[in-house]
Amino acid sequence: MRFGLTALFSLAALPAASDPLLGLPIDCTLGETCYIQQYVDRDASEGARDFACGRLSYDGHKGTDFAVPTLEAMRAGVNVIASAPGVVRGIRDGVEDRVYGPDNAEAVAGRECGNGVVLEHEDGWETQYCHMKQGSVRVRRGDRVERGDVLGQVGISGKAQFPHVHLSVRRDGAVVDPFDTGALAACGQDGHSLWQDTIAYVPGGLIDAGFTDNVPEYEAVQDGTVTAEHLPADAPAIVLFVLAYGGRAGDTLRLTIDGPGGRFLAQDMKLDRDQARLFRATGRRAGSSNWPVGAYNGEITLLREGRELDRIATQVVVK
């Protein structure tokens, strides 16, 4: 699995000598097993803008969201790790992992971070790690940790609608964007980054894809357990679905299926609004006879202004 093949640009500017060098707060490979869903909001008004003047943020967002593709990936266990050496200043555990919504908003009021850890670093710097898995926090207040030490695991506790770790970086209590510490967004220029290694900016991409025999519910797609590796020849339908992030109005999702007899289906879907996370599906219902047996190959391409932003492929075998 990979996310966002096309990066707009990479950050190369190094931190100042007094600034911390940050590593990823999650034990994964960006672009393969995890991705960045949201950045710090750099717009002081009611709008939202990320450090690159893109739209991967929302009003008032104070951190960077490092996400795993599905709840199944979360349940398998993905470690949250310290981005820099420091001392544990605070922890919380015991908040239930569940998708945030109106039915549980009151229960997480005042605990929007969910299960988390706050690390104190030198010169007034601190990092906070939110939405960790219930029961996974493995450090205690006062512990000394090094960069890369395990703090817990990725979860979906608190005010979270997808599994991720939200990393907030602050200095003397003020929010700092680790991708660009300047007062103004970089907007395509190299900003003053705190990251130890260069992280490419990716403005959106494809998270997961698969086949099933009906149009799935969004909750099932987000769970990650709906994909079929095999379908019977008498399946009621052959459906290709895709889960994506950072969709913009005007983007096109191009879905194609090639079966044993050649091109089985092709459809372009244009997005009519911005969506932080979305899924689409297409397929064909069964006719009077069974489906031809063999491999059905699905491919989904995300196009923005005619330019390929990302591509993902999947397969199901009918037998």
CATH class of the domain at 1-202: mainly beta
| Average per-residue pLDDT for the chain | 93
Residue-wise pLDDT for 104-132, tens only, equals 899 899 999 999 999 999 999 999 999 99
Residue 11 confidence (pLDDT): 40
Instruction: Say if CB 95 and CB 134 are below 8 A apart.
Output: yes
Is the pLDDT score of 13 beyond 60?
no
Instruction: Say if CB 166 and CB 64 are below 8 A apart.
Output: yes
Instruction: Say if CB 92 and CB 111 are below 8 A apart.
Output: yes
DSSP letter, residue 26:
B
* Residue 122 one-letter amino acid: E
Residue-wise pLDDT for 53-71, tens only, equals 999 999 999 999 999 999 9
The topology (CATH level 3) of 205-318 is: Immunoglobulin-like (2.60.40)
Stretch 305-311: mean pLDDT, rounded? 95
Would the pTM count as exceeding 0.85? Answer: yes
Domain boundaries, the chain: 1-202, 205-318
CA-nearest of 212, 238, 241, 227 to 291 is 238
Residue 183 confidence (pLDDT): 79
Is the pLDDT score of 184 beyond 90?
no
Q: Report d(CA 1, CA 80) in Å as an integer.
A: 20
Confidence of residue 5 (pLDDT cuts 50, 70, 90): very low
Stretch 263-275: mean pLDDT, rounded? 97
Residue-wise pLDDT for 241-260, tens only, equals 999 999 999 999 999 999 99
Q: Report d(CA 37, CA 23) in Å as an integer.
A: 17
| Strand order, beta sheet including 307-318 | 230-231, 307-318, 294-304, 252-259, 262-270
Could you tell me what percent of the chain has a pLDDT over 70? 93
Residue 34: both structure tokens together: 């995890």
Which has the minimum average pLDDT: 41-50, 178-187, 277-286?
Answer: 178-187
- The DSSP bridge partners found for residue 91 are 117
Stretch 85-93: mean pLDDT, rounded? 97
Is the pLDDT score of 3 beyond 60?
no
Residue 185 confidence (pLDDT): 73
DSSP letter, residue 20:
P
| Strand order, beta sheet including 275-285 | 205-212, 237-247, 275-285
What residues contact 130, with CB distance under 8 A and at least 6 apart? 63, 112, 113, 114, 115, 116, 158, 160, 165, 166, 167, 168
Confidence of residue 46 (pLDDT cuts 50, 70, 90): confident
Confidence of residue 17 (pLDDT cuts 50, 70, 90): low
